[in-house]
Every structure is written in C-alpha cells, then in structure tokens.
Amino acid sequence: MAKPTKKKERTNVLDGIAFIHATFNNTIITITDRQGN
C-alpha cells in the first residue's frame, strides 16, 4: 500500500513576485510573496 502523502498547505497571496528562468529545454517559474515565501 502506498504511503499517504501530506497535503500541501494553500495560502492566498494578494501581491507577489514572479521569477521566470527560461533555458533551451525548460522554463522554471517561481512565484513568491513579498517576504519570499
């Protein structure tokens, strides 16, 4: 039997910063709030 996975905590962010790192074969998008969380 598979181990139960921990549910990810969801938070509502009113304003944030999106970092986009694009390379030749993939794109990484990181979205953070003002504190970097």
Q: How far is CA 27 from CA 30, 31, 35, in A?
A: 10, 13, 23
Distance CA 7, CA 22 (A): 29
Give per-residue pLDDT as tens, 1-37. Answer: 667 777 767 666 677 888 888 988 999 888 888 777 7
Q: Specify the amino acid at residue 29.
A: I
Strands (E) in the chain, as ranges, are 16-22, 27-33
| Half-sphere exposure of residue 23: CA atoms within 13 angstroms, side-chain side | 3
Tell me what pLDDT residue 8 has: 67
Output Rg (C-alpha) for the chain, integer angstroms. Answer: 15
Tell me what pLDDT residue 1 has: 66
